[in-house]
Amino acid sequence: MQDASPTKLLIVDDLPENLQALDALIRGERREVHHAGSGEEALALLLQHDFALAILDVQMPGMDGFELAELMRGTEKTRPIPIVFVTAAGKELNYSFKGYEAGAVDVLYKPLDPGAVKSKVEVFVALHQQREAMRQQVLALEAARRQQEEMQAQLQHALLMRDEFMSMVSHEMRTPLNTLYLETQLRKMQLDRGNMAAFGAEQLRRMLSRDDRQIQNIVRLIDDMLDVSRIRSGKLSLRPGLVQLAGLLGRVVQDLTPQAATVGTTIVLDAPTPACGWWDDFRIEQIVVNLLTNALRYGGGQPVVVTLAVMADSVRVDVRDSGPGVALENQGKIFEPYERGVGSDAPAGLGLGLYISRQLAEAHGGSLTLSSVPGAGAVFSLTLPRTEAPPA
Ligand SMILES: Nc1ncnc2c1ncn2[C@@H]1O[C@H](COP(=O)(O)OP(=O)(O)O)[C@@H](O)[C@H]1O
Ligand SMILES: [Mg+2]
């Protein structure tokens, strides 16, 4: 790990010519030498920069080198900075520096021996660089540890989602299967009792259509899950053909009218203009069925209106209900897979319908958007580009 910033050195001397001479000796590549003409100036610089070493002239008017060193020792930021005193040869250094790390204080004698100065500074700079490298390693380790923790949390979350998903799927499958199971038990009982009146043509027809609905529910769940895995793996492909959209909407609305009746409402279709385009009719039907099923399910039993607007090179299908609508903070979320609105006591789904529908719209080069004022209903708008000839 390479530290890009230069190593900073501080030299303190009251005589400018001494500063110049010392600077010339210790200057080097990737080093920055700062000058201070007094102890006060030095303190200001010390607080501003991170120095690898401070070289202090002992004899200075005002604050001398020892006093400066004492102040440096008293401050957290400057305490670890190694100090080299410069003093005239022969002078007694009868001053004790308690509290300094061993080896953090050294002495150079005047007149300065260039070789000795250079090698001392080398040692301190090397020490500083080692410490810096170590610090970087500790930081990197810390970052790696945090990343690991984050991944752990994500994994945990994924596992939780999977468990939740499995219980959701089981529940969704269980409901229609339970109904089918009860039906078969009931029929067995009638048979055992020899009650053949329960198996008249009309009764059988009703039974079969009930069975059919439950089977369709299961098939739809499975198809939705398969669609999601196709979308996720990029294997969803469209089979476009010439589609007459107003006709398609008419058929879907008719198919869902009995379902609307069971929740006591109606679906109104407003599609006066036939609109032909090059789309995958199976997928477009899937989108519209999803939107209508949702409007019946979450639309508070209010009438649902489907409108078709035909533009020069696009069409828009609006599915509008007057139910409770979607809270602002959920308007983006409900298009994500497995996102279900909270507090909906309606028969549950897997939260895949809108996700799949938007993906299908986008695969057509179109879009699926929601506009809803909570309390005043929801409008889901499917927009599709339209060409009457197969696109290139
Ligand atoms: N017309 C609507 N009005 C209010 N909320 C809706 C409407 N359509 C969808 N939602 C909300 O969006 C959620 C996701 O819908 P969807 O993806 O179709 O999944 P599912 O129907 O399985 O819950 C629903 O659970 C519901 O909370
Ligand atoms: Mg749905």
Residue-wise pLDDT for 10-36, tens only, equals 999 999 999 999 999 999 999 999 999
| Position in ligand 1 atom list of the atom nearest CA 294 | 8
Residue 74 C-beta-side C-alpha neighbours within 13 Å: 7
Residue 22 beta carbon below 6 angstroms from any ligand 1 atom: no
Ligand nearest to the CA of 330: 1
Nearest CA among 59, 55, 5 for reference residue 32: 5
Residue 337 beta carbon below 6 angstroms from any ligand 1 atom: no
Look at 242 and 96; give whichever has higher pLDDT.
242
| Beta bridge partner(s), residue 85 | 56, 107
Kindly give the distance from the C-alpha atom of residue 335 to the centroid of ligand 1, in angstroms, as a whole number: 9
Ligand nearest to the CA of 293: 2
Query: What are the sequence ranges of the domains in the chain?
Result: 7-139, 160-232, 241-385
Atom 23 of ligand 1: nearest residue by CA position? 351
| Position in ligand 1 atom list of the atom nearest CA 350 | 22
Residue 294 beta carbon below 6 angstroms from any ligand 1 atom: yes
How many percent of the chain have pLDDT more than 90?
A: 76
Residue 1 pLDDT level (bands cut at 50, 70, 90): very low
Nearest CA among 193, 244, 348 for reference residue 340: 348
Residue 260 beta carbon below 6 angstroms from any ligand 1 atom: no
Ligand nearest to the CA of 335: 1
| Position in ligand 1 atom list of the atom nearest CA 295 | 1
Residue 18 beta carbon below 6 angstroms from any ligand 1 atom: no
Atom 9 of ligand 1: nearest residue by CA position? 294
Mutate to test the pocket of ligand 1, among 294, 338, 371 (most ligand atoms within 8 A of CB): 294
What does the pLDDT read at residue 171?
Answer: 86
CB-CB contact of 380 with 361 (8 Å): no
Residue 299 beta carbon below 6 angstroms from any ligand 1 atom: yes
What does the pLDDT read at residue 99?
Answer: 43
What does the pLDDT read at residue 167?
Answer: 86
pLDDT at 342 over 70: no
CB-CB contact of 248 with 192 (8 Å): no
| Position in ligand 1 atom list of the atom nearest CA 342 | 27
Kindly give the distance from the C-alpha atom of residue 286 to the centroid of ligand 1, in angstroms, as a whole number: 15
Q: Which amino acid is located at 98 in the chain?
A: K
The answer regarding whether domain 241-385 maps to CATH 3.10.180.10 reads: no
Nearest CA among 351, 318, 374, 380 for reference residue 168: 351
Tell the burial category of 151 from Cβ atoms under 10 Å away from its Cβ (0-12, 13-18, 19+): exposed
CATH topology of domain 7-139: Rossmann fold (3.40.50)
Mutate to test the pocket of ligand 1, among 354, 357, 370 (most ligand atoms within 8 A of CB): 354
Kindly give the distance from the C-alpha atom of residue 349 to the centroid of ligand 2, in angstroms, as a whole number: 6
* Range with the poorest average pLDDT among 45-59, 78-92, 308-322, 333-347: 333-347
Q: Domain spanning 160-232 has what CATH number?
A: 1.10.287
Residue 102 pLDDT level (bands cut at 50, 70, 90): very low
pLDDT at 293 over 70: yes
CB-CB contact of 137 with 114 (8 Å): no
Give the per-residue SS3 of the chain: CCCCCCEEEEEECCCHHHHHHHHHHHCCCCEEEEEECCHHHHHHHHHHCCCCEEEEECCCCCCCHHHHHHHHHCCCCCCCCCEEEEEECCCCCCCCCCCCCCCCEEEEEECCCHHHHHHHHHHHHHHHHHHHHHHHHHHHHHHHHHHHHHHHHHHHHHHHHHHHHHHHHHHHHHHHHHHHHHHHHHHHHHHHCCCHHHHCHHHHHHHHHHHHHHHHHHHHHHHHHHHHHHHHCCCCCCCCEEEEHHHHHHHHHHHHHHHHHHCCCCEEEECCCCCEEEECHHHHHHHHHHHHHHHHHHCCCCCEEEEEEECCCEEEEEEEECCCCCCHHHCCHHHCCCCCCCCCCCCCCCCCHHHHHHHHHHHCCCEEEEEECCCCCEEEEEEEECCCCCCC
Look at 217 and 276; give whichever has higher pLDDT.
276
Kindly give the distance from the C-alpha atom of residue 221 to the centroid of ligand 1, in angstroms, as a whole number: 15
What does the pLDDT read at residue 92?
Answer: 60
Relative to beta strand 314-321, strand 378-385 is: antiparallel
Q: What value does the CA radius of gyration of the chain take, rounded to a whole number of Å?
A: 40
Q: What is the pLDDT of residues 208-263, one digit of tens each?
A: 999 998 999 899 889 999 999 999 999 999 999 999 999 999 999 999 999 999 99
Residue 302 beta carbon below 6 angstroms from any ligand 1 atom: no
Ligand nearest to the CA of 375: 1
Tell the burial category of 206 from Cβ atoms under 10 Å away from its Cβ (0-12, 13-18, 19+): exposed
What does the pLDDT read at residue 273?
Answer: 92
Look at 172 and 342; give whichever has higher pLDDT.
172
Q: What is the pLDDT of residues 158-200, one digit of tens each?
A: 999 888 888 888 888 998 999 999 999 999 999 999 999 999 9
pLDDT at 336 over 80: yes
Distance (Å, rounded) from C-alpha 50 to C-alpha 33? 12
How far from each other are the two terminal CA atoms of the chain, in whole angstroms? 54
Q: Sheet with 53-57: list strands edge to edge.
A: 31-36, 7-12, 53-57, 83-88, 105-110
Atom 12 of ligand 1: nearest residue by CA position? 334
Mutate to test the pocket of ligand 1, among 169, 172, 175, 298 (most ligand atoms within 8 A of CB): 298
What does the pLDDT read at residue 149?
Answer: 97
Distance (Å, rounded) from C-alpha 102 to C-alpha 34? 25
pLDDT at 37 over 50: yes
Q: In angstroms, what CA-CA distances link 78 with 63, 69, 74, 229, 299?
A: 17, 9, 8, 60, 69
Mutate to test the pocket of ligand 1, among 290, 340, 350, 369 (most ligand atoms within 8 A of CB): 340
pLDDT at 97 over 60: no
Ligand nearest to the CA of 319: 1
For the chain, the average pLDDT equals 91
